[in-house]
Amino acid sequence: MKLKTILSALVIAGCGVSAVVAADDPVKVRESLMKQIGGSMGALAGIAKGEKPYDAEVVKTALTTIGTSIKAFPDQFPAGSEAGSEASPKIWENMDDFKAKAAKLGTDADMLLAQLPADQAAVGEAAGVLGKNCGGCHQLYRVKK
Ligand code: HEC
């Protein structure tokens, strides 16, 4: 388990580095942030389903990554940057709502971090709370390329 924790920390660190390298391309940055969020949700889902043993450090890292990434996410949408991405033009028409949806996921992640889910069942509930945010925003603001 220790090794797994170290490996996932390295993966997260690696993503951080590529985000910095691609800092001038907002599409790459925001997709990389979403990938980190997706990977963190995958880690939580693995525990929730019993595929991975409960590990408080993994849960903490996943929630921290989701919270940090979603807070940086809405800043990566300069006007005209929808080309070649899955970002819907509706984002720019409803920027306040889009930002509010991002902020909601950030608040949920912070709330769960403050009361860290303590076992498999609690991780399942946490994943359910977080997961509502994903679909809620994707349906409105993410289009398939
Ligand atoms: C505030 C809105 C919003 C929320 C909340 C949100 N997403 Fe996204 N997500 C997007 C948008 C917009 C894109 C498309 C970005 C682009 O292509 O420029 C995206 C893309 C993605 C991608 C594809 C990244 C890639 O490789 O291109 C994944 C994976 C993803 N989201 C996972 C999640 C998960 C898991 C959650 C919930 C924990 C979540 N998202 C919550 C808006 C959101």
> Could you tell me if the CB of 98 is within 6 A of ligand 1?
yes
- Distance (Å) from CA 71 to ligand 1 centroid: 13
Q: 142 burial class (0-12, 13-18, 19+ CB within 10 angstroms)?
A: middle
Alpha carbon distances (Å) from 128 to 61, 75, 131: 17, 26, 5
Minimum-distance ligand 1 atom for the alpha carbon of 86: 17
> Could you tell me if the CB of 62 is within 6 A of ligand 1?
no
pLDDT in tens, 114-137: 999 999 999 999 999 999 999 999
Residue found by looking up tokens 């991405």 in the block: 85
Cβ partners under 8 Å of residue 45, min gap 6: 127
Give the residue, by CA position, lying nearest to ligand 1 atom 7: 134
What integer pLDDT is reported at residue 2 of this predicted model? Answer: 56
Rg over alpha carbons for the chain, rounded to the nearest Å, is 15
Minimum-distance ligand 1 atom for the alpha carbon of 133: 5
pLDDT in tens, 54-109: 999 999 999 999 999 999 999 999 999 999 899 999 999 999 999 999 999 999 99
